[in-house]
Amino acid sequence: MDGNLRKSRRIFSWLGRREVNKRRIIVGLKSDNYSREMLLRLLHFVVVRGDSVLAVHVQKSDDSFDPNMFHIHEDLCKSKQVDFEVKICSGSCHITELSHQVRITFATILAVGCSDKCPKNPTISKWLKALPPTCKLLIMDNGGKILCQEMGTSQEGSCSKVLQPSISSLSEPSTHDRSGTRPLIRKSSSMPSPSTASTSQQTTTAKPENNINISPKLFHRLAMLEAKGYGRHFTFEELNCATKNFGRNMLIGEGAHSLVYKAVLENGQAAAVRVLKTSQYSEELFFREVEILSGLRHDNIIQLIGFCCCKKMYAIVYNLLNSSLKQRVNQLKWSERMQLAVGVAKALEYLHSCNPPIVHKDVNSSNILLSEDGKPQLSEFGVATPTHQPSPPKKPIHVIGRSGYLAPEYVMYGKVDEKIDVYSYGVVLLELITGKAAFQTSPVSNQESLVPWARSLLHCGQYERLIDPNLKEDYNKDEMRTLMIAARLCLLHSSSRRPTMKTVRINSPCDKMS
């Protein structure tokens, strides 16, 4: 009997600890757009999976508060598995009404807005004296920046009540609620799994320590993507833990615009976290890649898992692949090179067939990643561009791409259309044929760029000199000739004479491998 009693107590204690992790958060709302912006930022940066959010508006006689304008917030809460509810209270004092809601719902956080850049001490003192010591006060400005966070100082009420299981208070209106309070909207997600995020909002020091100013425009665009289920919004703490504090031993790649870390997510999934280096272009590159990848579904295109947008960093989370073509080109058998040529062609054909067509603009061997079975996946969509029609020729202000892969019309005039990807694909074919890098820096190389050297040999019909000696003549001669012809056509100086990716793929005999 004693053993069963002890066992029951242990189970009840465990359930009690589980329930404490489910926080009740109250947000004070006014009738202006700033309150909705503040609520949106709170849902992104403070609320975690498993929390329950109650948005409260204290109504006055001349109010025009519309409770039906929270569609984005509701969708965002569903995607984060967060309970969401809106209430309207009648009362003359915001502090009194909101502090009452804190007590009857056992809330642990109260968030309110402030139009001033620096809240006045007497106002803060009034709020703190009205809140129990178990509730944290968050004062946020119109942009959602936290100006103050302190625990309440009132001794009214028992703090032990907060530690009791309170499922009923989260799922239905409290029987202790005042008659002047009436719930209008109740939006609930599916039952959340145990939250792995800490209830503490302090951040851990790690290598990405930028002080990024997130624009409201970017914030709203990301909220819309997350609300539609196009990717998970990771917190900095989650990625910091997954990458072991962004340790050097987890760093697996570094480029001109980003650092790539290996990560193990909370569910055990291996992932790659690409942290963008801060620049004048980083915000636009970040959102463009997230937005484009969220709408793409193809076996030969990298899979977006989620993203992180916070004051410390912009980061994008992908499925983890073993290596890149640049790292393994000399180790690949001919059949693997053919599989890769077909896969990349399919990926580009898919992009160019989107409506509007998507131009990758940065196709190169470093951005073609390989899975364990050698399947290629195209990555790095930060400079990709949806294009309704070819852009008019002009002198480019900022040409982005890797030297050795760029089409001449893009370098000289900034012209962007699908044919610049076709040119870059032709360079990749040369790398597969020759085993050489697109841009040689070795002093023993006759040519720094692979294209002029290969063009001269193709023009003279000296095809054998192009073939990678590492293949040791173990290749299909018909397929080799087909790839050489395709490379020559893709690399034509005139973009109008280059084939489309659809033509390249249809004419390739290696389609039988797909």
For 280-324, what is each residue's pLDDT tens digit?
Answer: 778 888 888 888 998 899 999 999 999 988 878 899 999 999 889
The span from the CA of 432 to the CA of 337, in Å, is 6
Q: What is the pLDDT of residues 331-359, one digit of tens each?
A: 999 999 999 999 999 999 999 999 999 99
Residue scoring higher pLDDT (293 or 7)? 293
Strand 109-113 and strand 24-29: the pairing is: parallel
Highest mean pLDDT among 67-76, 157-166, 320-329: 320-329
Q: Average of pLDDT values for 464-478?
A: 91
Residues ≥6 apart with Cβ < 8 Å to 393: 409, 413, 414, 415
Residue scoring higher pLDDT (96 or 156)? 96
Q: What is the pLDDT of residues 187-212, one digit of tens each?
A: 444 333 333 333 333 333 345 655 56
The span from the CA of 180 to the CA of 89, in Å, is 6
What predicted TM-score, i.e. pTM, was given to this entire model? Answer: 0.61
Residue scoring higher pLDDT (425 or 181)? 425
Q: What is the pLDDT of residues 39-51, one digit of tens each?
A: 887 887 788 888 8
- On average, the pLDDT of the chain sits at 77
Q: What is the pLDDT of residues 415-424, one digit of tens each?
A: 899 999 999 9
Beta carbons within 10 angstroms of residue 306's beta carbon: 21
Q: Is 32 a catalytic residue?
A: no
The span from the CA of 159 to the CA of 152, in Å, is 11
Task: Decide if pLDDT at 398 tops 80.
Answer: no
The pLDDT, as a whole number, for residue 486 is: 93
The pair of structure tokens assigned to 467 is 């073939």
Residue scoring higher pLDDT (255 or 398)? 255
Task: Decide if pLDDT at 275 tops 70.
Answer: yes
| % of the chain at pLDDT higher than 90 | 31
* C-alpha dihedral sign at 453, 459, 465, 470: positive
Task: Decide if pLDDT at 234 tops 60.
Answer: yes
Which residue's entry shows tokens 């959602």? 144
Q: Average of pLDDT values for 3-19?
A: 42
Task: Decide if pLDDT at 1 tops 70.
Answer: no
The span from the CA of 327 to the CA of 335, in Å, is 17
Residue from 410, 409, 448, 454 nearest 429 by CA: 454
Q: What is the pLDDT of residues 20-42, one digit of tens each?
A: 457 889 998 876 667 777 888 78
Task: Decide if pLDDT at 491 tops 90.
Answer: yes
Got the DSSP string for 261-315? EEEE-TTS-EEEEEEEPPSTTHHHHHHHHHHHHHT---TTBPPEEEEEESSS-EE
Which residue's entry shows tokens 């040519």? 447
The pair of structure tokens assigned to 221 is 């665009």
| Domains contained in the chain, CATH given | 17-187 (3.40.50.620), 216-319 (3.30.200.20), 323-513 (1.10.510.10)
What counts of helices (H) and strands (E) characterise the chain?
16, 18
The beta strands (E) that lie in 40-122 are given as: 52-59, 83-90, 109-113
The pLDDT, as a whole number, for residue 274 is: 92
* C-alpha dihedral sign at 175, 181, 182, 188: negative
Q: Exactly one of 362, 417, 421, 468 is catalytic; which is it?
A: 362
Which residue's entry shows tokens 């080799």? 480
The beta strands (E) that lie in 76-162 are given as: 83-90, 109-113, 136-140, 146-151
Q: Predicted confidence band at 395 (pLDDT cuts at 50, 70, 90)?
A: very low
Alpha carbon 21 to chain centroid distance?
26
Asked if residue 262 belongs to a known ligand binding site, the reply is no
Highest mean pLDDT among 133-147, 210-224, 410-424, 438-452: 410-424
The pLDDT, as a whole number, for residue 154 is: 82
The pLDDT, as a whole number, for residue 171 is: 31
The span from the CA of 4 to the CA of 311, in Å, is 50
